Amino acid sequence: MPPRAAPLSPEDRREALIRATRPLLYDHGRAVTTKLIAEAAGVAEGTIFRVFASKEELIDATVTRAFEPGDVLRRLDEIDVGLPLRERMLAMTSILQQRFLAIFGLMRAMGTVGPPQHLHDRPELKKGLEDVRARLLALIEPDADHLTLPPEQVLHVWRLLTFAGSHQEIADNDLLTPAQIVDTVLNGVERRDA
């Protein structure tokens, strides 16, 4: 029997269980057992059901959390806007590519090809994605005078290439590196006299 867990509030316990469950989903998908989750979280199996009605509810909460952009926003905020455009875009690409690879890997492990449908109805996730877009755009806009396309279009092309170049199936198992993505975009949009 695992050692008794330290007393946590129900919300803190939910968070701890979600954190423990996510890596297990990559290995086991929906077949993960509550026993494995409890062991990873260092709690008794019954503790799970004090804060989640079912294993499926815990899995759904874990998948939902994976789609929340909090970590991406924090990491984008750490990019120095004073860096040259290429360096900013390399950092942006690394951050988004890591997120895409994690999300795509999770979806693959879960046997799905897209996010759960109910995520499209969550206004806080929609706002989070809008915040990500705004931060990305703010990292490109300082160099607008050196681009042949408006920053919004550069962002659109860059995001499409980052998404496709980070998806194993779309990229035919030949993922693009951040440098390949950024150089492809910039060499197509950077003014020759810049």
Look at residues 48, 65, 82 and tell me which one is the last residue of a structural domain. 65
158 pLDDT more than 70: yes
The number of folded domains in the chain is 2
- Do residues 102 and 159 both lie within one domain? yes
**Residue 78 maps to which CATH number?**
1.10.357
Residue 59 lies in a domain: yes
- Do residues 175 and 158 both lie within one domain? yes
**Distance between CA atoms of residues 64 and 118, nearest Å:** 9
Q: What is the pLDDT of residues 127-151, one digit of tens each?
A: 999 999 999 999 999 999 999 999 9
The pTM of this model reads: 0.85
Q: What is the pLDDT of residues 91-132, one digit of tens each?
A: 999 999 999 999 999 999 999 988 888 887 889 888 999 999
Is residue 90 within 8 Å of residue 191, measured between CB atoms? Answer: no
Q: What is the pLDDT of residues 72-88, one digit of tens each?
A: 999 999 999 999 999 99
- Do residues 52 and 111 both lie within one domain? no
